Amino acid sequence: MTTLVREASGSGVQPISARPPLTYMSDEQTARAIQILTTEHFTLQGARANTVSETNGRIAIFLGMVSSTLIALAFVGQISSMGLAFQVFTLILLPTLLFLGVATFGRVLESSIEDYFYLGGINRIHHFYAEVVPEVRTYFVLSPYDDWRGRMRSMGVVPTRWQILLTGTAVVGVINSIIAGTLMGALASWLFLWTIPLCGLAGAIVFCASEILHARWALSGWARFGKTARPLFPTPR
Q: How far apart are CA 75 and CA 184, in angstroms?
A: 21
> Tell me, what's the pLDDT at 13?
47
Residues 6+ apart with CB under 8 A from 28: none
> Tell me, what's the pLDDT at 14?
55
> Tell me, what's the pLDDT at 10?
44
> Tell me, what's the pLDDT at 224?
92
> Tell me, what's the pLDDT at 156?
87
Q: What Å distances lie between residue 199 and 148, 176, 189, 207, CA to CA?
A: 43, 18, 6, 12
> Tell me, what's the pLDDT at 6?
41
Rounded to the nearest angstrom, the gap between the alpha carbon of residue 177 and the centroid of all alpha carbons in its chain is: 19
Mutual angle of helices 196-228 and 84-132, in 10-degree steps: 30
Report the percentage of the chain scoring pLDDT > 70: 90
Helix (H) or strand (E) holding 163: none
> Tell me, what's the pLDDT at 162?
83
Comparing CA positions, the residue from 127, 126, 138, 150 lying closest to residue 9 is: 138
- Counting as low any pLDDT under 50, the low residues of the chain are 1-13
Helix (H) or strand (E) holding 145: none
Q: How far apart are CA 71 and CA 93, in angstroms?
A: 12
> Tell me, what's the pLDDT at 16?
67
pLDDT one-digit tens code per residue, 162-209 = 888 889 999 999 999 999 999 999 999 998 889 999 999 999 999 999
